[in-house]
Structure 1
Amino acid sequence: MCRPDHYGIYYEINPWMDRNRQADRTVALRQWEVLYQLLTETLRVQVELLPSVPGLPDLCFTANAGLLVDNLFVSSRFRYREREAEVPHFTQWFLERNYRVACLPEPALFEGEGDALFCGDRLFAGYRFRSELQAHHLLAELVGMPVHSLELADPWFYHLDTCLCPLQPGRAAYYPDAFSPASQRLLKETIPELFPVTEVEARRFACNAIVVGQAVVMNADCPHLARTLAEAGYQVHEVETTEFLKAGGGPKCLALFLDREAT
């Protein structure tokens, strides 16, 4: 994770972002701290911190840094130049800790865990708005496993982690209308138990949740999904990330998994 010390809406690269609707950094810092304390103190998650950097307002969205598969960190190649300067900071952090670091060959665009999520041993990857389908083939070769490609259909759900939340092997929450019809079919074929999310709650980024074992850290004011998860045996922890939603981010956007098996 990365403290949002320099967070703000300074450019517009997705439909959520509007420079005239600025985030309140004081509130954002408070919301981030609540999330951090919930993870570290209540759920006992070990969280490593990346130093914040002036001029990189989206560095706090560490899920977009890349994808970690075992000891290999596959670094992102961002679609928009506004985020390109984040890459050296992410890669340096992993290199200093003796991870293997790789990047997909140019010009393949790939935005890390924002667009690539494991559900059990299955790797799902989204494409169209930020990552490219071509990148999925290259990613599969690099990590040595098949990638299930999902076409995103709604620009408001521009990353896969905004509309799909893997819960455990064979189970996930998702917002159906964020996917093309073919990708909806693929999800139903590969994930036996899917919990559909309503449009209202999807726009609250209900799917952008952090899953730690049987605990699910999700945005507040998503009562339908919260009730569904509780009935399915999960411990639901609700947090506010209203200031990050202004940039198209939620709880999951603020965290990158270093140990996939722990989830």
Structure 2
Amino acid sequence: MRQVAAALASEGPAAVERVAVHKTVLMCRPDHFTVSYRINPWMHPEKPTDTALAVRQWEELYRIYEGLGFDVELIDPLPGLPDMVYAANGGFTLDGIAYGARFQYDERGPEGPAYMDWFRSHGFEVVEPVSINEGEGDFLLVGERILAGTGFRSDAGSHDELRRIYGREVVTLTLIDPAFYHLDTAIAVLDTVSHAGAGNIAYLPKAFDEASQQIIRDLYPDAVTVNDDDAAVLGLNSFSDGKNVVIASRAVGFEESLRERGYTPIGVDLSELLLGGGGVKCCTLELRR
């Protein structure tokens, strides 16, 4: 009996049957994508970018989402805003309420009002931000809990705004590695509901300070940890419906870990958009009405 119990325990999360949850997302075509300034370690304006290639790669991500049955809504890209393709930074939506973004850098500042205008015109109650925050780049809904990043972009004050707006538990996590400047580059939400409603994640431990690492270990004992190689291609900047996980095609170790746990990883090449410091999740803002 002990051997049977040990074998079942060793199977762990892999024994769970994964169930896909329908998603509605907002995206923005990278028609104006380029790297003309540097606001993160990934960006090198002196190196050429290929806007047409960025569009083709983005279109493949769009087709994957359509193939998964997602509802994909679009916001019009605006000239002079090359990072507007990273829709996740445009705000955070939950319970029909959109908490707008207020960007750290002036270069991206006009994106905040543009996304808030879109939210208003599509039926969301919009709350304009007081504190600096970069939307779902730093706010991730996992089950009923919101994980909120700080350290490089979003102020901790925005976490208090989240608590007041949504009445949910908000857990502050501090990022310490400049290459992983948004929470969605260091954590991937794998399940919105599992383990008594807590959800589950994958993450890169070294992206966080020690106190935050302990919080993550306590909250998500079954979390997947990724290696440096997979993190370096923004493998964690992924999007999951609870069963299918769209990831960077070069994140091969992460892909293997997902398969072992019963997920279906779907690789996509967004290498051109990586030049701006973004990947799958950066291009994807979940709409929760």
Do Structure 1 and Structure 2 share a fold, with TM-score over 0.5? yes
- Residue 146 (structure 1) shift: 2.0
Could you tell me which amino acid in structure 2 is paired with residue 48 of structure 1?
E
The match for 1:9 among 35, 56, 64 is 35
Matched, 1:236 2:283: no
Alignment-derived partner of residue 99 in structure 1 = 124
Structure 1 residue runs of 4 or more that deviate by more than 3 Å after TM superposition: none
1:81 aligns with 2:106: yes
Query: Is structure 2 residue 145 aligned with structure 1 residue 122?
Result: yes
| Counterpart for residue 77 of structure 2 | 52
Query: What's the offset of the Cα at 1:240?
Result: 0.3
Query: Structure 2 length as normaliser, TM-score?
Result: 0.87
| Of 130, 138, 150, the match for 2:161 | 138
Task: Tell me if the contact between 1:21 and 1:246 (Cα under 8 Å) persists in the aligned partners.
Answer: no
Name the count of aligned residue pairs.
257
Mapped to 1, the partners of 2:246 and 2:28 lie a distance apart of 17
Corresponding position of 2:204: 175
2: CA distance between counterparts of 1:14 and 1:183? 22
1:63 maps to what in 2? 88
| 8 Å CA contact retained: 1:62, 1:255 | yes
In 1, Cα distance between equivalents of 2:233 and 2:143: 25
Normalised by the length of structure 1, the TM-score is 0.95
Deviations 1:195-224 (CA, angstroms, capped at 9, x unpaired): 110011101101000112300000011111
Which residue of 2 is the match for residue 20 of structure 1? 46
Opposite residue 32 of structure 2, the aligned amino acid is H
Where relative contact order (Cα < 8 A, 6+ residues apart) is larger, the structure is 2
Letter in 2 for 1:16: W
C-alpha displacement of 1:11: 0.8
Unaligned runs of 5+ in 1: none
Alpha-carbon distance in structure 1 between the residues aligned to 2:158 and 2:110: 20
Look up the equivalent residue of 1:33 and give its one-letter code. E
Q: How does 1:31-50 map to 2 (within 5 A)?
A: 31-40=57-66, 42-50=67-75
Rg comparison, structure with higher value: 2
After superposition, give the CA deviation of every residue in 1:86-108 in whole Å (9 maximum; x if it has no partner): 12211111111121000222xx2
Measure, in 2, the Cα distance between the counterparts of 1:87 and 1:57.
Answer: 14
Q: Distance in 2 between matches of 1:89 and 1:171?
A: 32
SS at structure 1 position matched to 2:146? strand
Whichever residue aligns with residue 26 of structure 1, its letter is: A
What secondary structure does 1:166 align onto? strand
Aligned 8 A contact 1:104 1:139 in 2: no
